[in-house]
Structure 1
Amino acid sequence: MTTTAGASAALLVLADGRFPAGGHAHSGGVEAAVRAGRLDDAAALERFCRGRLHTCGLVAAGLAAAAATGHDPLALDEAADARTPSPALRATARKLGRQMMRAARAAWPSAALDDLAAARPRGAHQPVVLGVAAASAGLGPPDAARAAAHESVSGPATAAVRLLGLDPFEATAVLARLAPEVDAVTAHALRRAERVAAEGTDALPAASAPLLDILAEHHAAWPVRLFAS
């Protein structure tokens, strides 16, 4: 799909960290990693983001691309559940999906968003909502996949600046160095999403990050924390 000028602008809105979808309140595992002593500088942030991109980011990009293609979002939501073993992360994904749904319905009203909101009043998984929102905004599967992949690293990078007092220029440089890998993950996710029509949701990526699951469960039990996840 060739993105039109108007759709290009919509992608900027959707992928903007200021889009009111609640992502700013979540660290993507960075807060728990910092406390565990696994992340303390820009080099460690880059390693963390790279691992997250090729696991969580790939899965999210595949789900978003499939949703933007028009595949059944309820089936994709079930597939997202199956790929999210951590109860804490499932709850977070649905909370973020609910918040994104509110923002998306205000920005790009559509029957598809209304139907998904009615079917999942407590929230669908965020990447699925992202894909449906992208389609409602006139964007295609590549745009949805790229937005999901980028979000998987941009959120943690922003959180690291707050948690570590990291130089924002260093955090931005990390994202710039990861940009080619974001493109590669996007392409991989699209190839897998294209197989859903013939093979079902089993064709979607199912990469795992067990340590992130464990850290998420620990983080959810903290009585005091800066980020919701």
Structure 2
Amino acid sequence: MPTIRNGLAVLALADARLPNGGHVHSGGVEQAAASGLVTTVEDLREFLYGRLRSAGFTSAVFAAAATHAAANGEVDWLVLDAELDARTPSPAQREASRAQGRGLVRAGRAAWPSPALDTLVAVTGRPHHPLVLGVLAAAAGTEPWAAALVAGYQSVSGPSSAAVRLLGLDPFAANAVLVDLSGELDRLADTAAALAHLPPGDLPAPGSPALDLLAEAHHHHHREEVRLFAS
């Protein structure tokens, strides 16, 4: 595990209290619960493991790549943003990522303003959340590994919290599930950081058709009935 530079910034970026709007997104848990796919702590464990290995890994890779790019000053943000768009088949998930990115831009400009962040926004309009996260990590003086760690953690911590709210699960048991994923999260961050230097077109992204379908179903039902979460 690398030594983390500027640990306070990393903790702040991972903190659920950061006002970036992430608390209104369930990461697919709301639809999974409504469909009866997640009803117990063990169901949640399997869901979070799968989410970390798929959507979480993709977010971690692109967050690490954005940190590397911002730190080195040579990047085509439009290409990096488009490559992440291409690896996110679900329109609902793309919209959720951009909505969270917009929220993080507002928070980031107050805490870690940087020319790279301004350029990212100017070029892409509404950048994806992992790219904003990576740029802020670079502005805070930390490394791709830390950005990947935060991205991976957020991919499971938000859904875990949502499951407690939606299903009334034991919060201590749900938190224990997160802790059990710590080794997997460290390995994910290691892999993502090792790939951060690759050209955008070569960055990997494991597919997750189930999450795509849950996101699209949630979007459809959200227009017909009140839901607690936006995605």
Specify the TM-score bucket, using the shorter chain as the normaliser: over 0.9
Q: How does 1:177-196 map to 2 (within 5 A)?
A: 177-194=180-197, 196=198
Mapped pair 1:148 → 2:144: no
Mapped pair 1:92 → 2:96: yes
Conserved in 1, the CA contact under 8 Å of 2:81 and 2:124? no
Partner of 1:57: 56
Q: How does 1:53-202 map to 2 (within 5 A)?
A: 53-70=52-69, 71-121=75-125, 123-194=126-197, 196=198, 200-202=199-201
**Match 1:228 to one of 204, 224, 230:** 230
Conserved in 1, the CA contact under 8 Å of 2:148 and 2:193? yes
Q: How far 1:156 moved relative to its partner?
A: 0.5
Q: What is the distance in 1 between the residues matched to 2:135 and 2:189?
A: 17
C-alpha distance after superposition, 1:191-219 (max 9, x if no partner)? 2223x1xxx22321210110110111110
Conserved in 1, the CA contact under 8 Å of 2:77 and 2:124? no
Partner of 2:204: 205
Conserved in 2, the CA contact under 8 Å of 1:161 and 1:167? yes
User: Counterpart of 2:206 in 1: which secondary structure?
Assistant: coil
Partner of 1:3: 4
Partner of 1:217: 216
Unaligned runs of 5+ in 2: 70-74
Q: How far 1:188 moved relative to its partner?
A: 1.5
Q: What is the distance in 2 between the residues matched to 1:201 and 1:120?
A: 15
Q: How far 1:44 moved relative to its partner?
A: 0.5
Q: Which moved more, 1:184-193 or 1:15-24?
A: 184-193
Deviating 4+ runs (over 3 angstroms): none
User: Counterpart of 1:221 in 2: which secondary structure?
Assistant: helix
User: Counterpart of 2:169 in 1: which secondary structure?
Assistant: coil
Conserved in 1, the CA contact under 8 Å of 2:97 and 2:128? yes
Q: What is the distance in 1 between the residues matched to 2:51 and 2:118?
A: 31
C-alpha distance after superposition, 1:36-84 (max 9, x if no partner)? 1100011110100000000001100000000000143322111110100
Conserved in 2, the CA contact under 8 Å of 1:193 and 1:203? no
Conserved in 2, the CA contact under 8 Å of 1:86 and 1:217? yes
User: Counterpart of 1:27 in 2: which secondary structure?
Assistant: coil
Q: What is the distance in 2 between the residues matched to 1:202 and 1:119?
A: 18
Conserved in 1, the CA contact under 8 Å of 2:77 and 2:123? no
User: Counterpart of 1:109 in 2: which secondary structure?
Assistant: coil
Q: What is the distance in 2 between the residues matched to 1:91 and 1:80?
A: 12
Conserved in 2, the CA contact under 8 Å of 1:189 and 1:205? no
Q: How many residues align?
A: 222
User: Counterpart of 2:181 in 1: which secondary structure?
Assistant: helix
Conserved in 2, the CA contact under 8 Å of 1:189 and 1:204? no
For 2:60, give the aligned amino acid: A
Q: What is the distance in 2 between the residues matched to 1:73 and 1:192?
A: 17
Q: How far 1:128 moved relative to its partner?
A: 0.7
Residue identity over aligned pairs, in percent, reads 51
For 1:191, give the aligned amino acid: A
Q: How far 1:3 moved relative to its partner?
A: 2.8
